[in-house]
Amino acid sequence: MIGNYLRLVKFSHTLFAMPFALASFFMALQETENPLSWRLLVLVVAAMVFARNAAMAFNRYIDREIDRKNPRTLKREIPAGILRARAVLVFVALNSLLFMGAAFMINPLCFALSPVALAVILGYSLTKRFTALCHLILGVGLSLAPLGAWLAVTGTFHPVPVLLSFSVLFWVSGFDIIYALQDEEFDKDSRLHSIPATIGKKRSLQVSSLLHAASFGFLVAVTILSGAGKTGIIGTSLFGLLLLYQHLIISPRDLSRVNISFFTTNGIASLLWATLFITGILTGT
């Protein structure tokens, strides 16, 4: 049963935003010169997991009828009858409450902002019904992770984590456009909105490339301003190369490697960058 829920929310994809949150967490520790609090670190990770669980499960619940009509998503847990829709909705509510509980235990500011964060990450699931900018809204949702981790440590806003959040926003938006290429025709037929359904595959890939270029630019700025050293610079350079790689293996005529681009490359990119960036932050090398 637990495995069904883990597959429902694609728990392994937590790797996408979690490394950026951890990088922001350790960057904030260095900025404030606070000692590492394992309690706070566990709360930050738990809040991220609960928020993402709620968002993904709500997306599956809201899209259950759409998923039944799309051959690519027909085997997802709700349309396949593996999980009942009502049980998934209870799962959403439970994880939302746990997220707010974790935020409450972190600090008053995080708790006060937790309903706003929930509104963004849950509201995303409705957006493809009325706007092709849904990819950017997904990006906004995931971009809250590094900002939230910084606020958990400091309780105050700062320009550097905001820049990191912009990097995540454009990175996520760019790879979500690539992923949406698979459903271009289905979205058109179903009157759903996406950038591929609006402007086609070729121009969508161009938009995705521009978004990823912007993401890399913001990440370079973060690396310089944070003092992550040569190790951080290496991590950011590798991240940029992996962004380039995923665009080299995808073309409007060949989408066979979309999953490699979306899942494998981006997972490796975020984990590798965060590992080297955090090492640079902690060692100053």
Q: Check whether 235 has a pLDDT greater than 90.
A: yes
pLDDT at 17: 86
pLDDT at 135: 97
pLDDT at 138: 95
pLDDT at 149: 97
Evaluate whether 92 touches 123 at the Cβ level (below 8 Å).
no
Instruction: pLDDT band for 164, please (50, 70, 90 cuts).
Output: very high
Instruction: pLDDT band for 33, please (50, 70, 90 cuts).
Output: confident
pLDDT at 267: 87
Q: Check whether 5 has a pLDDT greater than 90.
A: no
Share of the chain above pLDDT 70, in %: 99
CB crowding 263-282: b at 16 or more within 10 Å, else e: bebbbebbebbbebbbbbbb
CA distance 84 to 91: 11
What is the mean pLDDT of the segment spanning 267-275?
93
pLDDT at 133: 96
Instruction: pLDDT band for 91, please (50, 70, 90 cuts).
Output: very high
For residue 68 the two structure tokens come to: 């039944």
Evaluate whether 192 touches 162 at the Cβ level (below 8 Å).
no
Q: Check whether 11 has a pLDDT greater than 80.
A: no
- CATH for 97: 1.10.357.140
Share of the chain above pLDDT 90, in %: 83
Number of structural domains (the chain) is 1
* CB proximity list for 8: less than 8 A, separation 6 or greater: 56, 57, 60, 76, 77, 78, 83, 88, 91
Using one digit for the tens of pLDDT, what is the confidence trace for 102-145? 999 999 999 999 999 999 999 999 999 999 999 999 999 999 99
Q: Check whether 263 has a pLDDT greater than 80.
A: no
Using one digit for the tens of pLDDT, what is the confidence trace for 199-234? 999 999 999 999 999 999 999 999 999 989 999 999
36 phi/psi in degrees, rounded to 5: -65, 125
Q: Check whether 82 has a pLDDT greater than 90.
A: yes
Instruction: pLDDT band for 241, please (50, 70, 90 cuts).
Output: very high
pLDDT at 113: 97
Instruction: Indicate the average pLDDT of the chain.
Output: 93
pLDDT at 284: 82
pLDDT at 69: 94
More confident residue, 250 or 277: 277
Maximum CA pair distance of the chain? Answer: 55
| Domain region containing 208 | 2-283
Evaluate whether 238 touches 245 at the Cβ level (below 8 Å).
no
* CB proximity list for 103: less than 8 A, separation 6 or greater: 47, 110, 111, 113, 114
Residue 251's beta-bridge partner residues?
254
What is the mean pLDDT of the segment spanning 83-96?
96
pLDDT at 60: 96
For residue 70 the two structure tokens come to: 């799309």
Identify which of 103, 11, 4 has the alpha carbon closest to the alpha carbon of residue 54: 11
Evaluate whether 89 touches 61 at the Cβ level (below 8 Å).
yes
For residue 67 the two structure tokens come to: 């998923």
Using the Cα atoms of residue 152, residue 153, residue 154 and residue 160 in order, give the sign of their dihedral: negative
**Other CB atoms within 10 Å distance of the CB of residue 143:** 25
pLDDT at 264: 82
